[in-house]
């Protein structure tokens, strides 16, 4: 099958209901996609690759692989407070298998429908399974949440429950039964609604896909500040809060900092969205990130997820 037919068959109609509202003029099927954009806004672009056996298990269904790869990429936009506009995908896979591609395509449709954005273009190549997703979103001018805005005495918050994806991944590696109870790993949600609510409230934010502590440390470096984090305050679903649990990555949640004055607003956002938001510490002027254990002792920090 040539690439043209393959794209027509499996990729030409993903989220096409949203093309008009997202101002897409030419979608899948030409050399490039043609988009209308708005000068009054800023645009937010991110790209993320998910690779078999590193970012997803090859025992996962193609539908879950597609959905997860896209949600993971979109999470970066959430952390910037952006509203998603559209996405494109570069898919590498070993051979053309109808059922596999049909199911993969369903995962893209799930994703498109959930975030109301169309697939506007892409590329297919032959090789070991790998999914690169590029997402574009929009944000009001100068309103994007960046890593660099944390200020001394900001409270540090994290969304969601940390470590569930890590625990589920461990279970999934042992079991072939992927039916229920694995949503944190298989179907991560990009916290788009939360990101949008945090505009004008958070001073800094980051997607903690590489591990809460490791990624919070990037906020500290970018903002030239330090942080004091209390292990006891980190929200987990199990009692044993190991460093591995809280810093292994795969939590597509947002860690952000905000002035104490905004704490009531943040509580209301959490209630309105039904997303847990937990205070875990405070930004300091020490330029060092310190994690304190239950006894108040400074813990040794390992690294989070390492790409190499």
Footprint of a second copy on 159-198 (CB under 8 A): none
User: Of these, 22, 55, 68, 241, which contacts a second copy (CB under 8 A)?
Assistant: 55
Write out the H or E segment, with its range, that includes residue 272.
Answer: helix 263-273
* Closer Cβ to a second copy, 54 or 299, answer by number: 54
At residue 115, the 3 state secondary structure works out as: helix
Phi, psi of 251 (to 5 degrees): -90, 105
Min CB(199)–a second copy separation in Å: 13
Q: Is 267 in the site for a second copy (CB under 8 A)?
A: no
x/- string (CB under 8 A) for a second copy, residues 221-250? xx----------------------------
124 binds a second copy (CB under 8 A): yes
Region of 51-59, 103-111, 174-182, 278-286 interacting with a second copy (CB under 8 A): 51-59
d(CA 155, CA 229): 10
For residues 186 and 41, what is the distance between their CA atoms, to the nearest angstrom? 33
Closest to a second copy by CB, 172 vs 255, is 255
Q: What is the closest distance, in whole angstroms, from the C-beta atom of residue 175 to a second copy in the complex?
A: 25
251 makes contact with a second copy (CB under 8 A): no
257 sits near a second copy (criterion: CB under 8 A) = no
CA 247 to CA 236: how far, in whole Å? Answer: 12
Half-sphere exposure of residue 144: CA atoms within 13 angstroms, side-chain side: 22
- Residue 90, classified by CB atoms within 10 Å of its CB into exposed (0-12), middle (13-18) or buried (19+), is middle
User: What letters, b where the CB count within 10 A reaches 16 and e where it falls short, cover 44-78?
Assistant: bebebebebeebbbeebebbbbbbbbbbbbbbbbb
Residue 81: alpha-carbon gap to chain centroid: 12
Nearest in space to 243 (alpha carbons), one of 286, 213, 287, 204 = 213
Whole-angstrom distance, CA of residue 291 vs CA of residue 228: 6
Position 25 contacts a second copy (CB under 8 A): yes
Cβ–Cβ < 8 Å for 118, 14: yes
Window 206-225: residues binding a second copy (CB under 8 A): 206-207, 210, 214, 218, 221-222
Q: Which stretch binds a second copy (CB under 8 A): 142-150, 155-163, 270-278, 279-287?
A: 142-150
Task: Candidates 12, 16, 35, 228: give the one binding a second copy (CB under 8 A).
Answer: 35
- As given in the structure block, the two tokens for residue 38 are 């708005």
Q: How far is the CB of 164 from a second copy (least distance, A)?
A: 21
Which member of 60, 136, 165, 245 binds a second copy (CB under 8 A)?
136
300 is an interface residue for a second copy by CB under 8 A: no
Q: Which of 20, 37, 238, 299: binder of a second copy (CB under 8 A)?
A: 37
Listing DSSP states for 38-53 in one string gives: -TTEEEEEEEEEEEBT
Q: Give the nearest distance from C-beta 68 to a second copy in angstroms.
A: 15
CB 204, CB 257: distance < 8 Å? yes
Instruction: Out of 69, 83, 88, 253, name the contact with a second copy by CB under 8 A.
Output: 88
31 touches a second copy (CB under 8 A): yes
CB 45, min distance to a second copy, A: 5
Q: Which is nearer to a second copy, 51 or 233 (CB)?
A: 51
* The total number of residues written for the chain in this structure: 308
CB nearer a second copy, residue 64 or residue 76:
76
């Amino acid at each position: 099958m040539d690439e043209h037919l393959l794209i027509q068959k499996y990729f030409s109609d993903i989220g096409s209901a949203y093309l008009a509202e997202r101002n897409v003029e030419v979608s899948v099927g030409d050399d490039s996609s043609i988009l209308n954009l708005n000068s009054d806004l800023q645009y937010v672009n991110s790209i993320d690759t998910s690779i078999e056996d590193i970012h997803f298990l090859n025992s996962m269904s193609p539908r879950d692989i597609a959905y997860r790869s896209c949600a993971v990429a979109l999470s970066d936009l959430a952390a910037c407070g952006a509203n998603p506009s559209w996405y494109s995908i570069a898919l590498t896979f070993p051979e053309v298998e109808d059922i596999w591609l049909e199911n993969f395509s369903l995962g893209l449709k799930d994703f498109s429908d959930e975030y109301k954005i169309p697939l506007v273009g892409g590329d297919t190549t032959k090789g070991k399974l790998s999914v690169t997703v590029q997402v574009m979103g929009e944000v009001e001018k100068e309103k994007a949440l960046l890593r660099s805005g944390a200020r001394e005495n900001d409270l540090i918050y994290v969304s969601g429950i940390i470590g569930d994806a890590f625990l589920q991944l461990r279970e999934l590696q042992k079991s072939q039964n992927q039916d229920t109870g694995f949503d944190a790993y298989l179907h991560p949600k990009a916290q788009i609604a939360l990101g949008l609510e945090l505009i004008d409230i958070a001073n800094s934010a980051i997607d903690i896909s590489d591990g809460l502590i490791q990624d919070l440390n990037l906020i500290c470096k970018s903002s030239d500040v330090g942080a004091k984090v209390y292990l006891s305050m980190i929200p987990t679903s199990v009692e044993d809060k190991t460093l591995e649990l809280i810093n292994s990555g795969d939590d597509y949640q947002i860690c952000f900092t905000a002035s104490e004055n905004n704490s009531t607003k943040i509580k209301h956002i959490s209630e309105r969205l039904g997303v847990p938001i937990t205070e875990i510490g405070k930004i300091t002027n020490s330029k060092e990130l310190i994690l304190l254990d239950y006894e108040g002792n400074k813990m040794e920090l390992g690294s989070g997820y390492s790409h190499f």
